[in-house]
């Protein structure tokens, strides 16, 4: 075959490749293969689910703590909120968990029951004015397992430009669900992709929050008082689900679209969305859009209501530096620190004292949307602090999307989801 | 000579097999054992439950649904790849000016992370602002709701996956095409064969190992599709894009059922393994000759 | 044999000008479809957050800004993350290409008992979803002391079924006659592999290298599990975490994604040369 004549000339290819390879190999060998271990003081690791701007701010706070506490050195790493859970669970399984785990709001009960994290009552003294709203999630079996980093809760934001253009009075924001539906109806011009209301419906934590926020206002509950079975297959549960589904399918005041809540907020800049249920960290982005915006506590149904969210410092059972880790938590809950943190990061402080702190007050003075969130605190309720909460949240959020986009009636969807939650709670809570 | 060959074979395989035993064998055996337990990830102990995970899978409607949806996804995307990647490879094999530029461009999507693709394609498929529906509107067609419609969400994911993978597999086909000895074509030309004859009689048969590779890879990868769903739909709307590995991931990390999730993984393994064997039987024989 | 005004393909087909135009048009269309999302991505990276989300689509930013890149490069450890990804993907590519050649050869060329069984076993390893084996593999890393190290990122993926499979398929397309002559001359199999087959494996090695680098570059879950410290973070981990930041900074994310695409493209461009040259040398002579 004619090919054999060419063999000699082809020899150079692999050799050149090998040289490149060898060069790469040397480059790899030259790099530090392991971060050098710290010696002398207690090194405490934190895995945070903050990212971007807020992680940058957190790093500054950690640096300040390290400065103020010579015998403790904190090292932080940031992982995204949805991946920090698999990350942490894998680490626990291999015995490589961090000292402090920055827990998303729905994991403390499960982790506490299985002793992945330790009770903190003897290690950290919270400020006496710490918001009581945190208790259901952080207290398990009478002991506190999480130190609130900050709170977060949803308030409504309204587009005042659209209010005026639609002949609504911008000084009279909707008070009730019916007001909201009526106002959103006036603002909607479907042909121009202009919608009165946009809410998240993609499966996940955000959508479950939205459902629960309206459900609190409807006066319903997710689970029975003993926390062992679902309770949302009720009149109030149906009212809430129908409200979300009808906004899209019947009243047609919301776009028929698969939304995460962040996506729904992101469209604010188009000036074609009349209202959203917003969390405070995003207020800076909303203000940056230059759309004239007003905020208010969510509208009421049977009562005023909202979802109360939070995130927590927890200490791993396997930590060898529990006391040093607790020092950081103790430092964090000082109102002057927590208040300033909330102000800088755009969150709600963890205690009344922190709310009253000048660091936070300065933020409120600058951020015209902030006060509504503070006003919402008294009637904001967290998710029930039950074992099996992550599963329930997932099922509830899937239910919302199925009712909004799936084409089934809210009633059937609700009944199915309730059965699934019952099974899930029974399985998760099995001794 | 035959025994010397066998000795060389094992000598050359040994390091890789040893490596496999440690880094693949151990995790596989470990997780296989887990699939007979009820380990919930958060506790340090697990109970042996025998075949319970496997038997409850058979009655698990959501699992069966995800299995069906994964199968549909796999068939659709593999068909897309066979047609479009091979066509693209034939085009990219032309001696045109700037062909290098086209080859590079078509490979772009393969080097882009799924997270990035997710962000961009959720926007592309947006019923109101998305580029696709805006373009359809130019030709006066109101586009579908894509990810907001339980019937259209899976097709939308197929389109996204095709956009991402066609160039990737075209590169494999291209390498396969270029490995074919040109003397075959010269000989055929002497006999007066046209382009189509050459394609049918020379290119296709000689491309057989490559086609086998592409189909096997596509089936294995598509049955394990995860990132696409994870970043774009979260399994919705109404469960219409829940695929097996996504279901598995949720069982493990949302419901903390690692034992059950492992069982899902091994059922998936058996399905894909059998499918691969069938493919080898179907068009492997000649290639292996 | 070449007629004037016609295009001769590599395989000797002649195409008319019209046909040529049609083929060109298809290629251009394919390129446009491929590129459109990137145009949006890159243009977004030059937009402020408020401009990204706007009712009218502008592919050319009205007020282009560089702020996103400045923020990306100063606030986020982008360069370090890219370096980590390069080390991980480069190391893995090197390892995979070398191991695949040696492991694939016996499967493609030799006859020994158990060959097909072992091959199917190797292939089978590819069919178990990594989400299932992730945790035991991580436990192994802990025992080896490889958590948060480059070894931990690279070694568990240094031999891949995909690479072995790909190499085997390419070896099968090489004409046996090449080796038979050498065998008759009494060459050992190792020498045959190194001196006769290896030079022809240029395209296959380049293809495998491109694929491995790409896959490793985009790999996200394994680094997430192995890496514990900020210094070891890979670029995909950074992007994923930023994407989920509640106050999502779209412009910055788009800027980082834009930056993150280039190293892999570079590898592709560099290896494409070998890939094509290797092919050109292995038999285009008419």
What HEC string does B151-180 produce? CCHHHHHHHHHHHHHHHHHHHHHHHHHHCC
Give the max Cα distance, chain A. Answer: 89
- Closest residue in chain B to residue A408, using alpha carbons only: B238
Chain A positions in Cβ-Cβ contact with residue B122 (cut-off 8 Å): 263
* Residue A245 contacts B where some CB pair is shorter than 8 Å: no
Closest approach of B194 to chain A, Cα-based (Å):
23
Which chain A residues are Cβ-neighbours of B233 within 8 angstroms?
202, 258
Chains adjacent to A (≥3 CB pairs closer than 8 angstroms): B, C
pLDDT at A299: 96
Look at A136-145, B212-221, C6-15, C194-203 and tell me which has the smallest mean pLDDT. C6-15
Inter-chain residue contact B105 with C31, CB threshold 8 Å: yes
Angle subtended at Cα B210 by Cα B207 and Cα B216, rounded to the nearest 5 degrees: 135
Closest CA–CA distance from residue C79 to any residue of chain B (Å)? 17
Helix (H) or strand (E) holding C279: helix C250-281
- Note the pLDDT tens digit of each residue in A276-305: 999 988 888 888 888 999 999 999 999 999
Percent pLDDT > 70 in chain A is: 90
User: Rounded mean pLDDT of chain C?
Assistant: 81
- Do the Cβ atoms of A89 and B145 come within 8 Å? no
First-to-last C-alpha distance (Å) of chain B: 20
- Contact C230/A10, CB-based, under 8 Å? no
Determine contact, residues C6/C14, Cβ cutoff 8 Å.
yes
Min Cα separation A13/chain C (Å): 7
Chains touching chain C through at least 3 C-beta pairs below 8 angstroms are A, B
Nearest by CB to C57, which of B31, B115, B129?
A: B129
> Is A263 within 8 Å of B43 when comparing Cβ atoms?
no
pLDDT tens, position by position, A217-265: 999 999 999 999 999 999 999 999 999 999 999 999 999 999 888 888 8
Band (pLDDT 50/70/90 cuts) for residue A200 is: very high
Q: How far is CA A3 from the centre of its chain?
A: 64
Tell whether C281 is within 8 A of chain A (Cβ).
Answer: yes
Interchain CB distance below 8 Å, A391 and B255? yes
Is A258 in Cβ contact with B147 (below 8 Å)? yes
Residue of C nearest to A27 (CA): C87
- Across B15-19, C171-175, C229-233, C243-247, which has the greatest mean pLDDT? C229-233
Residues of C with Cβ-Cβ distance to B96 under 8 angstroms = 7, 20, 23-24, 27
- Closest chain C residue by Cα to residue A8: C199
Q: Do C282 and A28 touch (CB under 8 A)?
A: no
Mutate to test the interface with A, among C62, C152, C241, C280 (most CBs of A within 10 A): C241
- pLDDT-based confidence at C45, cuts 50/70/90? confident
C177 vs A357, residue with greater confidence: A357
Kindly state whether A294 is in contact with chain C, defined as any CB-CB distance less than 8 angstroms.
Answer: no
For residue C278, pLDDT beyond 70 = no
| Whole-number Å distance between alpha carbons of C131 and C125 | 13
Q: Which residues of C are less than 8 Å from B120 in CB distance?
A: 37, 40-41
DSSP labels for C67-101? HHHHHHHHHS-HHHHHHHHHHHHHHHHHHHHHHHH
Whether A80 contacts A51, CB under 8 Å: yes
Q: What percent of chain A is modeled with pLDDT above 90?
A: 77
The two tokens of residue C35 are 């590129």
Q: Regarding beta strands A100-103 and A306-315, do their DSSP bridges make them parallel or antiparallel, or are they unpaired?
A: antiparallel
Q: Measured between beta carbons, which residues in chain C are less than 8 angstroms from residue A47?
A: 228
* Residue B14 confidence (pLDDT) above 60: yes
Q: What is the pLDDT of residue A351?
A: 96
Which residues between 84 and 123 in chain A have a beta carbon less than 8 angstroms from any beta carbon of chain C?
86-87, 89-91, 93-96, 98
Q: Which of B234, B257, B259 to mutate to test the interface with A (most CBs of A within 10 A)?
A: B234
Question: pLDDT by residue (tens digit) across C71-105?
Answer: 888 888 899 999 999 999 999 999 999 999 888 88
Give the largest CA-CA distance in chain C: 74
Q: Which residues of C touch A1 (CB under 8 A)?
A: 175, 177-178
Chain B residues whose CB is inside 8 A of the C172 CB are 209, 287-288
- Say if C199 is an interface residue toward chain A (CB within 8 Å): yes
Q: How confident is the model at residue C10 (pLDDT cuts 50, 70, 90)?
A: low
Residue B2 pLDDT greater than 60, yes or no:
no
State the smallest CA–CA distance between residue B105 and chain C in angstroms.
Answer: 6
Is the Cβ pair B253, A85 closer than 8 Å?
A: yes
ipTM of the complex: 0.88
Between C107 and A252, the more confident residue is A252
- Test A77 with C233 for CB contact under 8 angstroms: yes
* Nearest CA-CA distance, residue A142 and chain C, Å: 32
d(CA B272, nearest CA chain A) in Å: 25
For C256, the closest chain A residue by CA position comes to A52
Q: Are C75 and A56 in contact (CB under 8 A)?
A: yes
Q: Rg of chain B's alpha carbons, rounded to an integer?
A: 23
Token pair, residue A336, equals 């002057």
Residue A2 has pLDDT above 50, yes or no: no
pLDDT of residue B192: 82
Residue of chain A minimizing CA distance to C234: A79
> What is the pLDDT at residue A11?
34
- The arithmetic mean of pLDDT across residues B8-14, rounded, is 79
Q: How confident is the model at residue A125 (pLDDT cuts 50, 70, 90)?
A: very high
Partner residue opposite B237 with nearest CB, options A255, A405, A427 = A405
Lowest mean pLDDT among A73-77, A89-93, C121-125, C240-244: C240-244
Residues 6+ apart with CB under 8 A from B224: B244, B245, B268, B272, C127, C129
C150 touching A, CB under 8 A?
yes
Q: Of the candidates A53, A288, A290, which has its C-beta nearest C245's C-beta? A: A53
C31 band by pLDDT with thresholds 50, 70 and 90: very high
Pairing mode, if any, of strands A293-296 and A155-159? antiparallel
Nearest CA in chain B to C236: B113
Query: Once rounded to an integer, what is the mean pLDDT over residues C190-203?
Result: 76
pLDDT band, residue A392 (cuts 50/70/90): very high
H-run or E-run covering A310 = strand A306-315
Mean pLDDT on B144-168: 94
Confidence of residue B195 (pLDDT cuts 50, 70, 90): confident
What does DSSP assign to residue C126?
Answer: T
Closest by Cβ to B262, choosing from C132, C139, C159: C132
> Average pLDDT of A64-75?
95
Q: Do C136 and B216 touch (CB under 8 A)?
A: no
Phi, psi (deg, nearest 5) at residue B178? -75, -10
DSSP assignment of A151-204: EEE-EEEEEHHHHHHTT--TTS---BHHHHHHHHHHH-BGGGTBBS-B---STT
SS3 assignment, position A384: coil
Chain A residue with the nearest C-alpha to that of C138: A94
Quick one: pLDDT at residue A40? 67
Q: Which residue spans within A41-181 are E strands per DSSP?
A: 42-48, 72-78, 100-103, 139-140, 143-144, 147-153, 155-159
Which tokens is B117 given?
């693709």
Contact A7 C283 (CB under 8 A): no
Are residues A17 and C205, on separate chains, in Cβ contact within 8 Å? yes
Q: Is A252 on the interface with C (CB under 8 A)?
A: no
Nearest to C50 among A3, A272, A288 (CB): A288
Chain A residues with CB-CB distance to B145 below 8 A: 256-257
Per-residue confidence (pLDDT) for residue B289, from 0 to 100: 38
Query: For the residues A170-189, what does the mean pLDDT come to?
Result: 96
State pTM to two decimals: 0.89
**What Rg, from alpha-carbon coordinates, does chain C have?**
24
Q: How far is C36 from chain B (nearest CA, A)?
A: 9
Phi and psi, residue B44, nearest 5°: -85, -5
pLDDT at A45: 96
Of A135-139, A412-416, B245-249, C205-209, which range is least confident?
A: C205-209
The pLDDT assigned to B196 comes to 83
What SS3 state is found at A255?
A: coil
CB–CB of C34 and B261 under 8 A? Answer: no
| pLDDT at site A15 | 43
**How much is the average pLDDT of A151-171?**
94
User: Is pLDDT above 60 for A83?
Assistant: yes
The closest alpha carbon to A407, from B250, B125, B64, B145, belongs to: B145
B238/A111 touch (CB, cutoff 8 Å), yes or no: no
């Amino acid at each position: 075959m004619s090919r054999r004549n060419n063999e000699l000339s082809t020899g150079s290819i692999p050799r050149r490749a090998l040289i490149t390879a060898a060069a790469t190999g040397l480059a790899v060998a030259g790099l530090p293969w392991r971060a050098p271990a710290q010696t002398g003081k207690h090194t405490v690791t934190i895995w945070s689910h903050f990212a971007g701007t807020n992680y940058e701010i957190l790093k500054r706070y950690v640096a300040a703590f390290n400065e103020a506490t010579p015998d403790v050195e904190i090292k932080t790493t940031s992982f995204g909120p949805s991946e920090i859970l698999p990350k942490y669970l894998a680490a626990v399984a291999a015995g490589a968990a961090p000292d402090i785990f920055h827990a998303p709001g729905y994991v403390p009960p499960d982790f506490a029951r299985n002793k992945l994290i330790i009770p903190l009552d003897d290690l950290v003294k919270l400020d006496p004015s710490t918001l009581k709203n945190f208790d259901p999630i952080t207290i398990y079996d009478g002991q506190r397992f999480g130190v609130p980093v900050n709170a977060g809760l949803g308030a409504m934001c309204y587009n005042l430009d659209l209010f005026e253009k639609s002949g609504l009075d911008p000084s009279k924001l909707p008070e009730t669900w019916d007001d909201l539906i009526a106002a959103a109806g006036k603002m909607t011009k479907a042909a121009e992709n202009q919608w009165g209301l946009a809410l998240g419906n993609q499966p996940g934590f955000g959508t479950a929050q939205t459902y629960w926020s309206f459900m609190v206002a409807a006066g319903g509950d997710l689970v029975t008082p003993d926390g062992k079975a679902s309770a949302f297959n009720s009149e109030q549960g149906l009212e809430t689900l129908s409200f979300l589904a009808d906004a899209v399918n019947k009243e047609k005041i919301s776009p028929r679209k698969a939304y995460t809540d962040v996506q729904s907020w992101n469209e604010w800049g188009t000036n074609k969305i009349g209202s959203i249920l917003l969390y405070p960290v995003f207020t800076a982005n909303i203000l940056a859009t230059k759309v004239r915006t007003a905020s208010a506590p969510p509208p009421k149904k049977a009562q005023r209501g909202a979802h109360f969210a939070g995130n927590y410092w927890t200490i791993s059972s396997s930590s060898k530096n529990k006391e040093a880790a607790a020092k950081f938590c103790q430092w964090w809950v000082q109102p002057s620190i927590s208040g300033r943190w909330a102000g800088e990061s755009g969150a709600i402080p963890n205690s009344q004292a922190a709310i009253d702190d000048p660091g936070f007050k300065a933020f409120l003075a600058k951020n015209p949307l902030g006060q509504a969130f503070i006003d919402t605190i008294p009637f904001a309720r967290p998710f029930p602090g039950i074992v099996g909460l992550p599963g329930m949240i997932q099922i509830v959020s899937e239910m919302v999307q199925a009712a909004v986009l799936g084409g089934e009636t809210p009633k059937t969807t609700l009944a199915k989801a309730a059965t699934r939650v019952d099974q899930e709670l029974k399985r998760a809570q099995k001794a | 000579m035959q025994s010397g060959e066998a000795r060389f074979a094992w000598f050359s395989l040994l390091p890789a097999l040893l490596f496999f035993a440690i880094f693949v064998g151990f995790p596989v055996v470990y997780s296989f054992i887990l699939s007979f337990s009820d380990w919930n990830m958060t506790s340090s102990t697990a109970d042996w439950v025998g075949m319970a995970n496997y038997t409850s899978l058979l009655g698990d409607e959501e699992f069966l649904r995800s299995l069906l949806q994964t199968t549909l996804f796999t068939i659709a995307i593999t068909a897309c790849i066979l047609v479009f990647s091979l066509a693209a490879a034939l085009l990219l094999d032309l001696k045109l000016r700037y062909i290098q530029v086209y080859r590079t461009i078509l490979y772009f999507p393969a080097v882009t992370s799924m997270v990035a693709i997710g962000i961009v394609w959720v926007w592309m498929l947006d019923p109101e602002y998305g580029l696709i529906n805006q373009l359809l509107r130019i030709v006066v067609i109101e586009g579908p709701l894509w990810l907001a419609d339980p019937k259209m969400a899976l097709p939308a994911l197929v389109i996204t996956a095709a956009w991402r993978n066609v160039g990737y597999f075209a590169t494999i086909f291209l390498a396969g095409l270029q490995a074919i000895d040109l003397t075959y074509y010269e000989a055929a030309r002497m006999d007066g064969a046209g382009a189509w004859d050459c394609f049918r009689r020379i290119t296709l048969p000689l491309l057989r190992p490559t086609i086998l590779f592409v189909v096997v890879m596509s089936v294995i990868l598509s049955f394990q599709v995860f990132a696409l769903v994870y970043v774009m739909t979260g399994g919705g709307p109404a469960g219409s894009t829940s695929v097996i590995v996504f279901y598995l991931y949720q069982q493990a990390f949302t419901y903390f059922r690692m034992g059950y999730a492992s069982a899902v993984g091994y059922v998936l393994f058996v399905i894909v393994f059998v499918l691969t064997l069938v493919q080898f039987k179907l068009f492997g024989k000649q290639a292996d000759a | 044999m070449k007629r004037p005004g016609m295009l001769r393909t590599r395989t000797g087909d002649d195409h008319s000008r019209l046909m040529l135009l049609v083929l060109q048009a298809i290629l251009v269309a394919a390129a446009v479809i491929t590129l459109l999302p990137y145009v949006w991505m890159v243009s977004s990276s030059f937009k402020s957050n408020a401009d990204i989300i706007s009712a009218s689509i502008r592919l050319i930013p009205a007020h282009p800004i560089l702020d996103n890149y400045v923020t990306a490069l100063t606030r986020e450890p982008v360069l370090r993350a890219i370096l980590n990804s390069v080390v991980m993907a480069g190391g893995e590519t090197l390892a995979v290409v070398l191991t695949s050649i040696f492991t694939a050869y016996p499967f493609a060329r030799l006859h020994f008992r158990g060959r097909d069984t072992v091959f199917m076993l190797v292939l089978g390893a590819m069919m178990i979803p990594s989400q299932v084996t992730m945790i035991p593999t991580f436990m192994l890393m802990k025992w080896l002391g490889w958590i948060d190290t480059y070894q931990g990122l690279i070694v568990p993926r240094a031999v891949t079924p995909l690479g072995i499979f790909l190499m085997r398929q390419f070896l099968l397309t090489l004409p046996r006659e090449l080796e038979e002559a050498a065998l008759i001359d009494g060459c050992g199999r190792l020498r045959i592999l190194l001196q006769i087959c290896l030079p022809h494996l240029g395209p296959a090695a380049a293809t495998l290298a491109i694929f491995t680098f790409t896959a490793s570059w985009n790999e996200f879950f394994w680094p997430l599990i192995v890496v514990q410290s900020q210094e070891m973070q890979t670029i995909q981990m950074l992007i994923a975490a930023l994407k989920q930041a509640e106050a999502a900074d779209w412009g910055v994310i788009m800027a980082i994604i834009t930056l993150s695409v280039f190293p892999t493209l570079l590898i592709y461009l560099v290896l494409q040369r070998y890939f094509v040259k290797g092919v050109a040398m292995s038999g285009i002579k008419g």
